[in-house]
Amino acid sequence: METIPAKQREKLEEIKECQEDFASAQELRAYIQGYVDCVQALNHMGLLKENGGIKLVEN
């Protein structure tokens, strides 16, 4: 990295940070999707009762 000009190093650092942010968002989305899948599976097995104020939304 020392041979790369400072401007290019800064740009590479920005790109790296963007990639890390994107990867973090993807991981969070996958984590939340796991919860959604679990709740849907429990619902389809009849193990959850429907709450009067809360409805499951199906796509």
pLDDT tens, residue by residue, 8-59 = 999 999 999 999 999 999 999 999 999 999 999 999 999 987 777 776 777 6
Please give the pLDDT value at position 52.
73
SS3 20: helix
- Are 48 and 39 in contact by the 8 Å Cβ rule? The answer is yes
User: What is the pTM for the complete model shown?
Assistant: 0.65
**C-alpha span between 42 and 49 (Å, rounded):** 10
- Which pair of tokens denotes residue 3? 């041979």
Cα–Cα nearest to 58, from 47, 44, 27: 44
**C-alpha span between 33 and 37 (Å, rounded):** 6
The residue assigned the tokens 């499951």 is 56
Please give the pLDDT value at position 57.
77
Please give the pLDDT value at position 58.
77
